[in-house]
Amino acid sequence: MSMSRREFLQVMAVATAGGMSLHSDIALAEKGAAKLYDLPKFGNVSLLHITDCHAQLLPIYFREPNVNLGFGDQFGKVPHLVGDNLLKHFGFKPNSIEAHAYTYLNFEKAAETYGKVGGFAHLATLVKRMKATRPGSLLLDGGDTWQGSGTALWSNAQDMVDACKALGVNVMTLHWESTYGEARVKEIEEKDFAGQIDIVAQNVKTADFGDAVFKPFVMKNMNGVQVAIIGQAFPYTPIANPRWQTPNWSFGIQEENMQKTVDEARAAGAKVVVVLSHNGMDVDLKMASRVKGIDAILGGHTHDGMPAPVVVKNAGGQTLVTNAGSNGKYLGVLDFDVKNGKIAGYRYKLLPVFANLLPADKDMQTLIDKARAPYLSKLNEKLAVTEGTLYRRGNFNGTFDQLILDSLMKVKDAEIAFSPGFRWGTSLLPGQPILMEHVLDQTAITYPWTTVTNMSGEMIKTVLEDVCDNLFNPDPYYQQGGDMVRVGGLQWTCDPTGKMGARIQNMMLKGKPIDPAKTYKVAGWAPVSEEAKNSGAPIWEVVAEYLRDIKTVKPISLNLPTLKGAANNPGMA
């Protein structure tokens, strides 16, 4: 699928005829491409932000969601806008390159036209360009960097650690990083990162005495301005991921301690205070309304590629809240103009990383190729061909998840299957081969075991209600930032506006209502309890077995709940 730069520009020129609004000749197309990244320097403090790349070192396809519902205070608000509603809100034209960068619209056609996104070698080129026009700027990494690929898992995160050092990351915070265990995280912090990358997290403390595990913040001098970067790790790491992987660390939102940390940073002379956050955007928006003195929260976790910041008013003034998407697709650039110790103005742009518009950085490409070399034969095993688009993102299900559910039910001979509502995982276009690497992109975690459980109907409802509350609790502080658990075999109705215990309705299996007292055979994966360690083969083996058997994946129809209360929601298309 890779094209030369010239071929790509020719495609861009041809695309105009197909309704793509770019330019009608190559010269103009090239100029337009350059314009996308032509971001004039502004002010004297610049922060470059990546987040949630999920270990995607190479360019990939990534389909944005067409279901990202918000209710109550979040109804119709950023980030709960999809498709045309998102375009309208941010003022982008349909069929523009931005429409493809930020929405799922015309995904297959636009993906073929504009090509793959992300990739560390292409990102490195963009980072270098931004750093060249912005001397002294810092590169911040919001976490979920070390997990999400076969190579990251097999190298125990080493490929990503080396790539981030080469990319020039200065400060990072954590989420999935912690699933490599406390010892590995501390080893990387103390050895690999020493003197180069600071890990910051004001909300990670020892479980016994509440001592800080990482630096709460770092102070950097940028062109004579003191800038504090406060870390906020994912607050629900030991709940959403296995607690046995971080038994001595306690997390949480720690709002009071955040205020204390902001005040300390200000007292130490910070003129700009920025939080590098893995809260998720709804949690960041609430935190911004309650904590004073933060100039910007650079956020991640919920994978919302939001082109402009939300400006939140609070008792201390205002706080900008951004979210920089996922899978290496974007680079956020935040510029502040600081005059006489005060912020006089700002500019923000979320730059999409189009691999065809940014030549690969040679050094980074060499590093990536070297890191992948030992694993190539495993990664490149062709398991099947897909006839339809495979993707994951969306509140309730994605075609790749449906494929995982189908694999679980078939291989484990189960009547019902559950698959976690993760938001990472790349996309495949119709006609693409499904390689082992692609299956690992959806499944590579440190607790990949499959499970088969005899569950009562009552327990099934309890599980679904529990996860649904993590997604749709009206108070963002109780939301964990994933999507709904994917459900195979079972038909159900979901009322996200209901109270906990009343959202899951009409559960049916093969035309019969689920009996609370009856036992059902349920297959799943990614168990968080320590007892479930090594419970069954890793999920990628189960999916690979299924794919090798069927060879061709027909276009997939999703098992979706019947939704109540979601009509006319701008977060659904």
Partner 1 sequence: MNNQRRNVLKTGSGAALLSVLASAGIIAPGMALAEWNKAAFDAKSMADTLKALGAGAPADSKDVQVTGPDIAENGAVVPVGVTSTLPNVTMVAILIEKNPSALAASFNLPAGTEANVQTRVKMGQTSNVYALVKSDGKFFMANKEIKVTLGGCGG
Binding residues for partner 1, per CB under 8 A? Answer: 144, 175, 206, 208-209, 211-213, 234, 236, 238-241, 243, 250-253, 280, 301-303, 420-424, 462-463, 466-467, 469-470, 477-478, 480-482, 485, 500, 526-529
Q: How far is the CB of 15 from partner 1 (least distance, A)?
A: 35
Rounded to whole angstroms, the Cα distance separating 562 from 573 reads 15
Q: Which is nearer to partner 1, 186 or 313 (CB)?
A: 186
Is 290 exposed, middle or buried, given 0-12, 13-18 or 19+ CB atoms closer than 10 A? middle
Q: Return the number of the residue (256 or 557) whose C-beta is nearest partner 1.
A: 256
Cβ proximity to partner 1: between 111 and 471 the closer is 471
CB contact at 8 A, 565 and 496: yes
User: Residue 321: enclosing H or E segment and its boundaries?
Assistant: strand 317-323
Helix ranges (DSSP H) in 268-398: 281-290, 362-372, 376-379
Tokens 């077995």 correspond to 545
C-alpha pair distances (Å), 279 with each of 236, 276, 309 = 9, 9, 16
Q: At what angle do helices 5-15 and 26-36 cross, to 10 degrees?
A: 100
Residue with Cβ nearer partner 1 (119 or 527): 527
- Alpha-helical (H) ranges within 17-119 are 26-36, 83-90, 97-102, 107-114
- Shortest CA distance to 470 belongs to which of 301, 296, 338? 301
Q: Choose between 115 and 280: whose C-beta lies nearer to partner 1.
A: 280
Task: Give the DSSP letter string of 390-421.
Answer: B---SSS--HHHHHHHHHHHHHTT-SEEEE--
- Minimum distance, C-beta of residue 53 to partner 1, in the bound complex (Å): 14
> In this complex, which beta carbon is closest to partner 1, that of residue 271 or of residue 393?
393
- Strand partners of residue 206: 249
Output 163 or 240, the one with its CB closest to partner 1. Answer: 240
Distance CA 499, CA 164 (A): 43
Pairing of strands 310-314, 450-456: unpaired
CB-nearer residue toward partner 1: 27 or 500: 500
The whole-angstrom separation of Cα 436 and Cα 376 is: 10
DSSP 8-state class, residue 224: T
Q: Could you tell me the smallest distance in angstroms from the CB atom of residue 440 to partner 1? A: 18
Between CA 355 and CA 198 the distance in angstroms is: 28
Q: What is the smallest separation between the CB atom of 238 and partner 1, expressed in angstroms?
A: 5
Q: Which phi and psi angles does 517 have, rounded to 5°? A: -90, -15
Nearest Cα residue to 243 out of 445, 443, 528: 528
Nearest to partner 1 of 330, 375 (CB atom): 330
As measured in angstroms, the least distance from the Cβ of 293 to partner 1 is: 21
**CB of 378 vs partner 1, minimal distance in Å:** 27
Contact 223, 44 (CB under 8 A): yes
Name the CA radius of gyration of the chain, rounded: 23
What minimum distance in Å lies between the beta carbon of 486 and partner 1? Answer: 9
Pick the closer one to partner 1 by CB: 239 or 308.
239
Please identify, using beta-carbon distances, which residue of 136 and 498 lies nearer to partner 1.
498
Minimum gap (Å) between residue 457 Cβ and partner 1: 16
Minimum CB distance to partner 1, residue 459 (Å): 10
Cβ nearer to partner 1, comparing 7 with 466 = 466
Residue 65 vs 527, nearer CB to partner 1: 527
Q: Report the nearest approach of partner 1 to the CB of residue 240 (Å).
A: 2
CB of 334 to partner 1, least distance (A): 23
Phi, psi of 314 (to 5 degrees): -150, 180
Greatest pairwise CA separation for the chain in angstroms? 71
What's the min distance (Å) between Cβ of 503 and partner 1? 14
The 3-state DSSP composition of the chain as helix, strand, coil percent (nearest 5) reads: 35, 25, 40
**Least distance (Å) between residue 85 CB and partner 1:** 23
For residues 257, 258, 264, 266, the Cα torsion angle rounded to the nearest 10 degrees is: -160
